Chain A
Amino acid sequence: DSGVTQTPKHLITATGQRVTLRCSPRSGDLSVYWYQQSLDQGLQFLIQYYNGEERAKGNILERFSAQQFPDLHSELNLSSLELGDSALYFCASSVGNYGGNEQFFGPGTRLTVL
């Protein structure tokens, strides 16, 4: 158990809908990261927050947004869902802010868009 929790574990929804994925980092970690794992794209970095502020951005679609709250948990919002958004979404956390800080991953949320 990495100490990072994600809810829900599974999510099934329809195209055009909006969903929210939630992540709680390890105790003491200030950085939260979101990654998408799909068969065709592999593991892709989406976005990083550090202590409430956006820190780095990857291949995140405009339909997707995230935030980190004062209690350090984070939410990833996915809207206008398409079939291709079906994937495993991982949250990770680390103590610090930049390269060299080990990231610990949650169990993931499996999103299925029908």
Chain B
Amino acid sequence: GEDVEQSLFLSVREGDSSVINCTYTDSSSTYLYWYKQEPGAGLQLLTYIFSNMDMKQDQRLTVLLNKKDKHLSLRIADTQTGDSAIYFCAESRIIKAAGNKLTFGGGTRVLVKP
């Protein structure tokens, strides 16, 4: 089945690292994405990882994947006030017949305090 879950809220101090967690249930080959949504805006693709990888780093962002536990995390280094937003984890199975639908988690609201 398909189910993606995230914690609801994270508060972090400016300059600290943020870690946002996500769990998924689909065991087939899949891509896992992180999107950011600021108030009144659309979803901005931040990064993604394929399910055969363990880690991906992109500037301040690090994605870690624990395949055994089906656990995905996004670490934001040196968190800034501009990082305050809702972060969504999403998965997409790579079965051609399934198209490319994204299954989203409920989103984690990150609040960065100065």
Contact = CB atoms under 8 A, between A and B. Distances in A.
Interface of A: 2, 4, 31, 33, 35, 42-45, 48, 50, 55-56, 58, 90, 92, 94, 96-108
Interface residues of B, number: 29
Contacts, number: 78
A99 B48 contact: no
Interface stretch (B55-63, B76-84, B87-95): B87-95
A100 B98 contact: no
A58 B35 CA distance: 20
Given A42-B104, A42-B106, A98 B99 contact: yes
B104 A43 contact: yes
Contacts of A55: 99-100
B88 A56 contact: no
A56 B42 contact: no
